[in-house]
Amino acid sequence: MTNLVVSLELSKKVEDLGCPQVSKFYYCISQSVVGGWEIKTDEEIKRCCYPVKKKYSAYLSDEVLRWLPYRLRMEDYDYWLKISKSRFGYDIRYVSTAALCNVFKGNDGIKQDDTLPNALALMLIYLLEHNLLKAENLL
């Protein structure tokens, strides 16, 4: 299951940046788990006999992808979201055929990870931290 959702570390960062905490799955810690986190659905959390101390959204790829703009307009160019997979993992970037370059200088705007959810979350975090996307506009 952990390869299908955004990591706990990135989920915490996404919450810190103000993104909605709505997901099909959540990382939760309760009195039943000593020092560890579990991934559960909201229904499982509600049925649990132990109170949940804290929870973070464990976003699936499609949940993060819905927030990433398919197009960024910058410096008179349109940049399109590109997702690719190689033997090294997933690569997320914004590219423009007109400008023939990445929207971001150097490799800073290229986000890579072994799992698609983490790669997408890294791009979301980058856009939010660089004010290219506003958390309050995410639904």
Report pTM.
0.86
Summary mean pLDDT of the chain: 84
Candidates 110, 51, 50, 101; CA nearest to 77 is: 101
Type of residue at 17:
L
- Residue 42 corresponds to which tokens in the numbers above? 């909201």
pLDDT of residue 100: 55
- Residues 95-123: pLDDT tens digits? 877 655 555 555 556 788 899 999 999 99
Measured CA to CA, the distance from residue 11 to residue 118 in angstroms comes to 9
Residues (pLDDT < 70) of the chain are 30-35, 49-51, 98-109, 139
Q: Yes or no: say if 83 and 91 are a contact pair by the CB < 8 Å rule.
A: yes
Q: Which residues pair with 121 in a beta bridge?
A: none
Q: What is the pLDDT of residue 53?
A: 72
> Residue with structure tokens 């160019």?
77
CA distance 119 to 82: 12
Determine the pLDDT at residue 63.
95
Identify the pLDDT of residue 43.
Answer: 87
Written as six digits, the tokens of 72 are 């960024």
pLDDT of 72 reads 87
Domains in the chain: boundaries: 8-60, 64-134
